[in-house]
Amino acid sequence: MIVITLTYITKNIAKMKFFLDTANIEEIAEFANTGLLDGVTTNPSIIASYGKPFEEVIAAICKLVDGPVSAEVTATDHETMLKQGRHLAQIANNVVIKVPLTSDGLKACYALRQEEIDVNVTLCFSTGQALLAAKAGATFISPFIGRIDDIGYQGMNLIQEIAQIYSNYPDFNTQILAASIRSPLHVTEAAQMGADVATMPTKVLKQLFKHPLTDLGLEAFLKDWKNTDQKISA
């Protein structure tokens, strides 16, 4: 069981943002213009499973969604990461370059941020890594909750600890993007910890709507309404 202490608030942001963690255009289109979708994240595995050309997919997503769309570099040396990042950033104004949390990744992050290109530092599994990413000027840090849970630790503790650390330093502007989310509980707990963003598979976003009492209640309302023989003009 997770004990939640609401002592720390990351920063004064207007709302928690929801991103979809998918490259599936149809799924993204379903939630575009609903007020629920604030951005999209992808990674090389997601792109591979969707099976369509990377840059075309990113361009199509950017047309559907105004908010940040993460596109990940695949090089491991910072010079090539930088070249790939600059190239991908030209696809659209809302592309965010995703780099892994390695020494080269953070060098590329710092250089891209100097050029005012937004960066999402991914594959974060420790508070020390999150501290480094904030110092390198990352726009987003992506701690992977589910993958920490998978190896028997509490992924959510990492979100709480990063939120605490970042809140100590007002000059850190890095937003906490809770990633590797596997369930609605992950989303709500990340919100309780003060994560700025939760990125989730479409399945999890759909699960957030569901409650059996909502279904039962609606069924009863509609049955009672039918018995009145009334109609609402439309």
Residue 24 or 41: the one with the smaller Cβ distance to ligand G3P is 41
List the structure tokens of 18.
Answer: 């929801």
Taking the complex as a whole, the smallest distance from the CB of residue 27 to ligand G3P amounts, in Å, to 14
Q: Which of 8, 92, 125, 146 binds ligand G3P (CB under 6 A)?
A: 146
Q: Is 144 in the site for ligand G3P (CB under 6 A)?
A: yes
Active site residue 83: no
Q: Could you give the string, one character per residue 200-219, with x where binding to ligand G3P holds by CB under 6 A and - elsewhere?
A: --------------------
CA–CA–CA angle 97, 103, 104 (5° rounding) = 50
Q: How far apart are CA 106 and CA 146, in angstroms?
A: 23
Enter the tokens of residue 134. Answer: 């904030």
Residue 200's beta-bridge partner residues? Answer: 20
User: Of the ranges 80-88, 125-133, 139-147, 158-166, which one interacts with ligand G3P (CB under 6 A)?
Assistant: 139-147
φ, ψ of residue 32 to 5 degrees: the values are -65, 145
Of the candidates 11, 98, 107, 203, the residue annotated as catalytic is 98
Count CB neighbours of 168 within 10 A. 8
Distance in Å, CB of 210 to ligand G3P, minimum: 20
State the alpha helices, DSSP H only, in 168-211: 184-192, 202-209
What is the number of other CB atoms lying within 10 angstroms of the CB of residue 202?
Answer: 16
Q: Which of residues 73, 121, 179, 187 is near ligand G3P by CB under 6 A?
A: 179
Query: Could you give the angle at which helices 127-135 and 103-114 cross, rounded to 10 degrees?
Result: 30
Near ligand G3P by CB under 6 A: residue from 24, 41, 94, 139: 41
Q: How many CB atoms lie within 10 A of CB 29?
A: 14
Region 182-201 residues binding ligand G3P, contact defined as CB under 6 A: 199
Closest CB to ligand G3P among 126 and 167?
Answer: 126
Looking at the annotation, which residues are catalytic? 98
Task: List interacting residues with ligand G3P (CB under 6 A).
Answer: 21, 41, 43, 142, 144, 146-147, 179-180, 199
